[in-house]
Structure 1
Amino acid sequence: MWEHLRETYGGPFALVGPRETLYDKAADAPVSYEYADPDFPRAHLAGWGEGWLHMAPLIGEAVHSCEADVLLVSLGLIDLGFYTNAEQTAENVHRFVAAARSANPRVRLVVLPVIPNVRATADAPFAAQVTRFNELLAKAVADLDESRSPLLLASPPPSYDIRLDTYDGTHPNASGERKIAGAFADAMYQAWGVGEPYEG
């Protein structure tokens, strides 16, 4: 996404967030600075094992302190897998949006549905929860969208394949990350004219 916007977006932009480190699987903690590109701006609000449940209480302060005006959000799988059902997860979406808007009434959000994962191929009740949540997420985006603080529902990458685009059936590898970036980039281009269509 960063590379794409640097190449296609005419105006200035900055990636912001209160965190800098990456999750280190060997240390089982977010202590790594091993970015693929050493020039990449490190600020973010990503978190290993965190979902809507965890981010809803954090997003208001993050938006306020970092002066964020666009949020790209891909959450939900961990919620449904360990913490909340589809309806409870959707309630946390509402809390997240309300908190973000309390910090910046003009914040814009692009939200990605829960994307394919290996558990959903083998666990029918879990797959049903994913489908139900994605339906509720689409409804939440439609209900909460407003002109001064628009919400977009990004389309899941059509060619996303858990055998090719993840390293374990769930977590995206470099190919999967590019496809997810493309989903966000295309949504912003189509709705807001930001950058150009993604060709990563």
Structure 2
Amino acid sequence: MLRFMPVGDSMTIGSAGEHTWRYRLWQHLRATYGGPFTLVGPREALYDKAADAPTSYAYADGDPRFPRAHLAGWGEGWTHMAPLIEDAVRGCRADVLLVSLGLIDLGFYTNAEQTAQNVRAFVAGARAANARIRMVLLPVIPNVRARLDDSFAAQVDLFNELLAKTVADLDEPRSPLLLAPTPDGYDIDTDTYDGTHPNERGEHAIAGAFAAAMWEAWGIGQEYATGTR
């Protein structure tokens, strides 16, 4: 069985009442991947905005078979996940990491260069637990702060360049790294509910970016159905 671990920040954990892009990708893989698979991770909850804590299990109505497991946290970034990933991969026996991180780092913790160093630490930690781990890394996608703050937008652009270089530098046959594309046509006015967090359209868009990378590079699944957006 192929074991996928979603890793991310608030856009990945989601909040109470949402499906999440994790659910959209799981639906896609159920329809297109021929072998057994599941989602794994040490956490399952959504973020509860009223409680200001990841304590909700109120996912939007959907398939009750959806495996809710993940490694994602509201307000967490590469700097938080790098120290956790080795134990998470080992404990959950993950085969593929689907990673969406960076916005929080650049917004609150580290500059582009420091964030790229944390990506390298993350990759090293994952490989220490599973020498054949595969990883798909999503660039920092469009967001309202980058629209309004030119200096922040420059940091996002620089980090995305450094992320692409890091993926190229660290990619190896036994433990391949993929740089996922920025979701096609992603628009913060139509794909988010607040300029950052994905709405239903955005969930499909992010799921589609991960799906496209895995289909094109590894033959996992198929192209994401465009009719879902």
TM-score (norm 1): 0.98
Match of 2:124? 98
Task: Confirm whether residue 156 of structure 1 aligns to residue 182 of structure 2.
Answer: yes
Match of 1:29? 53
Superposition deviation, residue 159 in structure 1: 1.0
Aligned-partner Cα distance in 1 for 2:98–2:66: 17
Superposition deviation, residue 39 in structure 1: 2.8
Match of 2:147? 121
- Which residue of the other structure, out of 141, 163, 166, is the alignment partner of 1:137? 163
Superposition deviation, residue 27 in structure 1: 0.8
- Which residue of the other structure, out of 15, 18, 33, is the alignment partner of 1:9? 33
The one-letter amino acid paired with 1:15 is L
- Write the deviation string for residues 163-187 of structure 1: whole angstroms up to 9, x where unpaired: 0111110111111011000000010
The one-letter amino acid paired with 1:153 is L
Match of 2:198? 172
Superposition deviation, residue 135 in structure 1: 0.2
Aligned-partner Cα distance in 1 for 2:217–2:65: 29
Root mean square deviation of aligned Cα:
0.7
Aligned-partner Cα distance in 1 for 2:52–2:220: 36
Aligned-partner Cα distance in 1 for 2:85–2:134: 13
- Write the deviation string for residues 96-138 of structure 1: whole angstroms up to 9, x where unpaired: 0000000000000000000000111111110000000000000
The one-letter amino acid paired with 2:132 is R
| Preserved contact between residue 101 and residue 140 of structure 2 (Cα < 8 Å) | yes
Superposition deviation, residue 78 in structure 1: 0.4
Aligned-partner Cα distance in 2 for 1:103–1:161: 37
- Which residue of the other structure, out of 212, 219, 223, is the alignment partner of 1:193? 219
Structure 2 unmatched ranges of 5 or more: 1-24
Give % identity.
Answer: 75
Query: Which SS does the other structure have where 1:164 is aligned?
Result: helix
Aligned-partner Cα distance in 1 for 2:78–2:124: 13
The one-letter amino acid paired with 1:186 is A
Query: Which SS does the other structure have where 2:39 is aligned?
Result: coil
Number of aligned positions between the proteins: 200
Structure 1 unmatched ranges of 5 or more: none
- Write the deviation string for residues 45-88 of structure 1: whole angstroms up to 9, x where unpaired: 11111100000000100000000010000000000000000000
The one-letter amino acid paired with 1:46 is A
